[in-house]
Structure 1
Amino acid sequence: MIDWATNLVASGGLVGVFLLMVAENLFPPIPSEVVMPLAGFAAARGQMPLPGVILAGIAGSLAGNAVWFELARAFGTERMYRILDRLHRFTRLGREEVGKAEAALRRNGPAAVCIARMMPGVRTGISIPAGLIALPRRVFYFWTAVGTTIWTGGLAVAGYALEDQFHLVEDWAGPIGLTIMAVVLGLVAWQVWKARRAG
């Protein structure tokens, strides 16, 4: 099964890695926790160059997030929510998820865009509220690039280093992402509690 999946990813080459990462950030079909370690594993076998894998993954992630960010900036809240309502079953993004992400972004600032890149279920959604509040493009793309480089590059390098034991990457990546999410949500909850107490 591992050989089949690796060969499937490798058969698409760097363009395939790029497209898979674009898709992962538009309507998550296959998570990056699977795509990038497999691509790194293929690189360890000599089927693709590791630097190319990392750059393709980063570029794909940036492109996918750019779509949501630019749509949100262009359409505004009401039109964007109507789009999400129509596409919810494909994107798994809805008004509630985006509303929570927007509140977190307003409280924690642009760095939330970076942190979200390492959080399952949030890495795609954060681009929409960033666009809705008209976060400056240079700020959005800078923090997106930083977070994406850390997460995507780390997964690829881990897959490359572990080779036959690459499945360990997926086992660890999920808990790490969930831990980051728990910490961020805890900080947000604490700020809300503090604000209500002060009020």
Structure 2
Amino acid sequence: MNIPDLIQHYGYAAVAIGTFLEGETVLLLGGAAASRGHLGLPWVIVVATVASFAGDQLFFWMGRAYGPALLQRFPKLGAGTARARVLLERHNTPVILSVRFLYGLRIAGPLAIGMSGVGRLRFFVLNLIGALVWACVIAALGYGTGQALASVLGTIDADEIWTLGVVLVAGALIGLIAHFRATRRRRLGEAPLGSD
């Protein structure tokens, strides 16, 4: 089984699982797969909307029911939820609509919203709108990127394109993680790694 076959068989499931938790990378790849005809773009958007909506609903309810206990159990969520709370106090509705687009708040944001006392129906409606907008924007970016790559790299077969894509995404993620860790270390006054 080659990569396009795997995408056709498991692509929607991968989009669902990926967007339930975090999702930008998976959704970008889903949009790119749609541009190559391996998945249908409308279905990628529907699956991403439903899964992203469901994930944020779950985290909202967890924040509402178990917020302080979760923060004690998972202290790393504290910084994200604190940041989300500050943003919520200033810009409540825009933050709820755009929490998926805010780096580091994909899980912490809905937890903080749940702990903030935002009404269930209000969050339901704003979360649904936000999920749909996010899925459309990110899937369209993936689709456009896939089309651009296809026109630039038209002579390369699909397996090579996907391998290149995975390598580029992995490299970008490693670079981002290194950057954010270095920034965090500087902020906390820690010595950089390897400076013993």
TM range (shorter): 0.5 to 0.7
Query: Whole-Å Cα distance in 2 between the matches of residues 10 and 21 of structure 1?
Result: 17
Residue 123 of structure 1, CA deviation: 2.9
Q: How many corresponding residue pairs?
A: 151
Query: Counterpart in 2 of 1:109?
Result: 92
1:126-172 deviation per Cα after TM superposition (whole angstroms, max 9, x unaligned): 101110022111211222222222222112122223424357xx8xx
Alignment equivalent of 1:16, drawn from 10, 14, 17 = 14
Query: Whole-Å Cα distance in 2 between the matches of residues 118 and 50 of structure 1?
Result: 20
Query: Whole-Å Cα distance in 2 between the matches of residues 135 and 7 of structure 1?
Result: 44
Q: Is the 8 A contact 1:9 1:35 kept in 2?
A: no
> Unaligned stretches of 5+ in structure 2?
150-164, 174-196
Supply the AA of the counterpart residue of 1:48. Answer: L
* Farther off after superposition, 112-121 or 52-61: 112-121
Query: Whole-Å Cα distance in 1 between the matches of residues 129 and 31 of structure 2?
Result: 19
Query: Counterpart in 2 of 1:181?
Result: none
Alignment pair present for 1:61 and 2:49:
no
Alignment equivalent of 1:95, drawn from 59, 75, 78 = 78
Secondary structure of 2:112 counterpart: helix
Pairs within 5 Å for 1:114-129: 114-129=97-112
TM-score by length of 2: 0.66
Query: Counterpart in 2 of 1:83?
Result: 73
Alignment CA distance shift 1:70-1:49 (3 Å): same
Alignment CA distance shift 1:159-1:7 (3 Å): farther
Query: Whole-Å Cα distance in 1 between the matches of residues 19 and 44 of structure 2?
Result: 11
Query: Whole-Å Cα distance in 2 between the matches of residues 7 and 106 of structure 1?
Result: 47
Q: Is the 8 A contact 1:10 1:39 kept in 2?
A: no
Secondary structure of 1:120 counterpart: coil
Residue 52 of structure 1, CA deviation: 0.7
Residue 125 of structure 1, CA deviation: 1.7
Residue 16 of structure 1, CA deviation: 2.3
Residue 103 of structure 1, CA deviation: 2.1
Quick one: percent identity of the two aligned structures? 23
Alignment equivalent of 2:64, drawn from 59, 73, 76 = 73
Query: Counterpart in 2 of 1:46?
Result: 37
Query: Whole-Å Cα distance in 1 between the matches of residues 110 and 122 of structure 2?
Result: 12
TM-score by length of 1: 0.66
1:46-92 deviation per Cα after TM superposition (whole angstroms, max 9, x unaligned): 222111100101111111111211111112x421312323xx4xxxx
Alignment equivalent of 1:133, drawn from 98, 103, 116 = 116
Alignment CA distance shift 1:148-1:7 (3 Å): farther
